[in-house]
Amino acid sequence: DTEVTQTPKHLVMGMTNKKSLKCEQHMGHRAMYWYKQKAKKPPELMFVYSYEKLSINESVPSRFSPECPNSSLLNLHLHALQPEDSALYLCASSPSGPMGNEQFFGPGTRLTVL
């Protein structure tokens, strides 16, 4: 299984809602990532987990809360989002370690905040 899956594919939420994005991989990768991509812009790194521990937070607002419950699963909990948070949210995974390692990306969740 060389795939990263993300659910849901699309999500529409109001500014007072709480929702979660889910990402899963079964490649034995120990590093997982969340990226945010606005229309016609490159992906922007948000969070990096290494061995289920948060290793990088790129100064992301606290209304985005990541969670890595086990080595295969990565969640992004959303609360009190703003319309400008509407974007494609991409998850990726890679083998951990210092050597050059490709990242495998999921198809993304298209989020719309009303």
Partner 1 sequence: DAKTTQPPSMDCAEGRAANLPCNHSTISGNEYVYWYRQIHSQGPQYIIHGLKNNETNEMASLIITEDRKSSTLILPHATLRDTAVYYCIVRPTNTGNQFYFGTGTSLTVIP
User: Site residues (CB under 8 A) for partner 1?
Assistant: 4, 31, 33, 42-45, 48, 50, 55-56, 88, 90, 92, 94, 96-108, 110
**Shortest gap between Cβ of 42 and partner 1 (angstroms)?**
4
Residue whose CB is less far from partner 1, 63 or 110: 110
Residue with Cβ nearer partner 1 (69 or 100): 100
Provide the minimum distance between the beta carbon of 34 and partner 1 in the complex, in angstroms, as a whole number. Answer: 11
Burial class (CB in 10 A: 0-12, 13-18, 19+), 76: buried
Residue 95 contacts residue 29 (beta carbons within 8 Å): yes
Contact in structure between 55 and 34 (CB atoms under 8 Å): no
Nearest CB to partner 1, comparing residues 80 and 88:
88
Please state whether beta strands 18-25 and 4-7 pair in parallel, antiparallel, or not at all (unpaired): antiparallel
